[in-house]
Structures are given as structure tokens and as C-alpha cells.
Structure 1
Amino acid sequence: MKFFSQSFLYDDPWPIVSLAFFLRYPNPYASHVLSCDVISREFTSSGSLLTTRLILKKATLPRWAPKGIISRSESWIIEESEVDPHGEVVRCLTRNLEHVKAMQIHENQTFRQLGEGKTLQTTEARIVSGFGWGLTKQIENYGLARFRKNVQRSREGVTLILDLIRQARQQPMTLSSSYLNPTSASRLTANRTSDQFLSEPHQVPEAGDPS
């Protein structure tokens, strides 16, 4: 079993960072995400918003992995989140539903409002393999290395969406989907209004794993 823990401070207030987190797909740093769908959403009696999303991701294997270790190249991920507007905190638990014998990752993220309009993100994860055959430790080390890399890419994706939200809030201009290209993030066109982008569901085209 391997453990991961990391914190990151955003220079943006909690409501904006939370919005960017839930709008993070699609983005060019998450090309391994094939789809993301809300399967349930409800309010609690205390006013918190509970959401469950089903995410399909493309799985990759290292070259040393034996053939047949997983049955297919995609994996369903379940994401369960709570948005507490009174406590100004988002709690999110994510775990894979497939290939759990080869490797299962339980990820826990929180976003908390701090002083001076900043937001603290804390990410913790537990990586476990039950594959055996002398490969358990190697698989867990591989999973930890990939998870650490993907956390960085996820943060870059959230940061990109934060930039888009700032543009939408600061000027009544229309935003092009080309803004999602990190090499042309400042380009603005009249293809789509910012309100449409922030409210419409998006489907991610099939692509390979970014790493």
C-alpha cells in the first residue's frame, strides 16, 4: 500500500476555485478523460450539495505489465462530492470501479476558503494492488508515480479553467473553445458566449493518456 499527500494554495477565492474544479473537464491536460456524467445530485437539509459523477478514463499499462492484467483499456471512476456553502469547503472522494485487483486508488480532495481570498486544496490518496505474483510492490510504485504526475496535470487543468472564468467575469466578450489550448489561451472569438461555456455539458473526444 502506498500513500500520497499534498497541499496547494490557489490565489483565488473558494467559490471560483470550486466552480473551476467541477468544470475542469474537458481540458487539454486531461485527454485521458473520455466522458463525465452526473448520475445524481441533491441538497441536504443543511444546504450542502451532494453530487455523484461517473467518469470514464483511458487506462494505460507499463511495458513490463503482463498481458491480460486488465480486461480493457478503459476504467469507470466514481466521484462523490459535497459542497458546503456555509463552511466554505468542498469534499470529494474518487475511486476506480474497475481493475480493482490490479490496482485501486482512493483519492480524497478538499478545497477550503482561507483568509485574503485564497483557497487551500488538499489531496490525499491510498494506492493498493492485490495482483500478487511478485508484482504488487512494482504495481503500487507505478501507480504512485502516475498519480503524482496526474495531480500536477489536474492542477494545470483547473488553473486553465480559472483563467477562463476570470476572462468571463472581467469582460462581456465571447470566448472560443480554442482558449482551452494552452498555447493560445488568450485568444477570444465569437464562437460561444462565456455563459454558454460555463453551463453547457461537454463531451470529451476520445484520446490517449497524456502521459
Structure 2
Amino acid sequence: MGLTYEDEHVYDNTTFNDFAFSMINRYPNPQALHIKSVDILSTSLVAISGTNNTQHKLKFTRLIRKLGSLPRWTPSILRISDSFILETITVNPVDKVIDSRQQNIDHLNFLKVIEVNNYKYNADKNEVKQQTKVEFISNIEHGVRAKSVWERLSSRVHLGSKIEKFCVNSYHKRIMKSREGIKWKVEYFKLKHGLASL
């Protein structure tokens, strides 16, 4: 099982450095009040191929703790107050590309959400193009002999596919808020740098 959401977006009037800095530091922002905490788990510099180890890209992984957002019709045992997301971001200053991958690390048997983003800077247009692909995968089996009480119940109500459809239908609103948060952070750093130069 599984459903996919794909989308594109353009952030205009920005430099790569401002955008990369905003991506790295995008929490907190007014559009992400559901984010409770962000912890850096690891950072590393990875040599960029073709540069004879003279230039590197930044790679870091962080753990994001946020408010859970499952719908009311899910079983109460699954409506957790917190959820944890593992995010890996790679910033390539040579090609001016940022890649990110997010995935929930809890309730994987119930629903796995994998979000992959590619941000590519266009110097001629002074803009960043974002390409997003999100996969929603429920491991709740349907159409097979259910072994546990939970599997039998979920097969009867098609809970797996219902959850996937809910996530796909609601994800556009979520990603729009995320983009507004990034835009806010870009403008915040522009203002901060402008005031610092006075």
C-alpha cells in the first residue's frame, strides 16, 4: 500500500546563502508553533566529488519533536500528543543545492511518512526551486488473513487506506505553512543583516 504527494514551488528574490541559512535555522518561526524542540544529532563535512577534497558540503541530522496531528476518527490509543521526526539535510555550496529528507520514527507499523525535498538555486533568476515528494505508507495489511485483533479490526474498516488518503489530502495545507515559515525566516535574516550593516 502507499500513496504519493508531489509538488513544486519557487522562492524568489533570495540569495543561496540567505536561503541555506534560513533552511538550517528555520525553527522557530511563527508558522511552526507545533514544533516543540529541535536537537542536532550529528554534523559532518562531506567532500564534493570533482573538487580534489578541497570543497565540502555540510550534512547534518536533527531530531524534531512536534505535536501529533492524527484525525479524531483514529483509535484513541494512536492519537499521541507528540511525534518525532528524523531530518537529514545536505547543503552543497558549489552546486548551490540543498537536499532534505524527513521521516517519522514512531508508529511505523501504523503509518510511515517520508518527505524528500530538493532545493536548487538559479543565480540568473535569483530564486530557489523546490521539488517535493512525499510517500505515505501504511503497513496495515488488507485482503490477507489478519493475525492480530488490531489487524482484523483495521482490515474491516480499511483504516490503512483511510489514513493514507487523509494524509495526502491534508498535506498540501501543511506544506504551504512550511513554505511560509521558510519565507518568514529568509525575510527575518535579510532584515537582521540589514540592521547589522547600519
TM bucket, shorter chain = 0.7 to 0.9
Q: Report what 1:155 is aligned to.
A: 179
Deviations 1:96-116 (A, max 9, x none): 000112211111011111122
Deviations 1:111-137 (A, max 9, x none): 111122111111111011123511111
The Cα of 1:147 is off from its aligned counterpart by 2.1
What TM-score does the superposition give when structure 1 sets the normalisation length? 0.77
Secondary structure at 1:44 match in 2: strand
Q: Report what 2:76 is aligned to.
A: 67
Secondary structure at 1:154 match in 2: helix
Q: Which structure is larger by alpha-carbon Rg, 1 or 2?
A: 2
Q: Separation in 1 of the partners of 2:95 and 2:129?
A: 13
Q: Separation in 1 of the partners of 2:197 and 2:92?
A: 31
Deviations 1:54-105 (A, max 9, x none): 11111022121122135x3211110111111111101111100001122111
The Cα of 1:44 is off from its aligned counterpart by 1.2
Q: Report what 2:93 is aligned to.
A: 85
Q: Percent identity?
A: 25
**Does residue 122 of the first structure (1) align with residue 131 of the second (2)?**
yes
Q: Separation in 2 of the partners of 1:94 and 1:55?
A: 9
**Which ranges of structure 1 fall in alignment gaps of 5 or more residues?**
175-211
Q: Separation in 1 of the partners of 2:31 and 2:190?
A: 19
Higher strand share: 2
Checking the alignment, whether the CA contact within 8 Å between 1:14 and 1:111 is kept in structure 2 is no
**Does residue 22 of the first structure (1) align with residue 14 of the second (2)?**
no
1:141 maps to a residue whose letter is K
Q: Report what 1:178 is aligned to.
A: none
Secondary structure at 2:76 match in 1: coil
Q: Report what 1:43 is aligned to.
A: 45
**Does residue 99 of the first structure (1) align with residue 138 of the second (2)?**
no
2:21 maps to a residue whose letter is L
The Cα of 1:173 is off from its aligned counterpart by 8.0
2:44 maps to a residue whose letter is E
Q: Separation in 2 of the partners of 1:9 and 1:41?
A: 28
Q: Separation in 2 of the partners of 1:9 and 1:104?
A: 27
Checking the alignment, whether the CA contact within 8 Å between 1:18 and 1:111 is kept in structure 2 is no
1:162 maps to a residue whose letter is V
**Does residue 144 of the first structure (1) align with residue 168 of the second (2)?**
yes
Aligned residues: 173
Checking the alignment, whether the CA contact within 8 Å between 1:105 and 1:127 is kept in structure 2 is yes
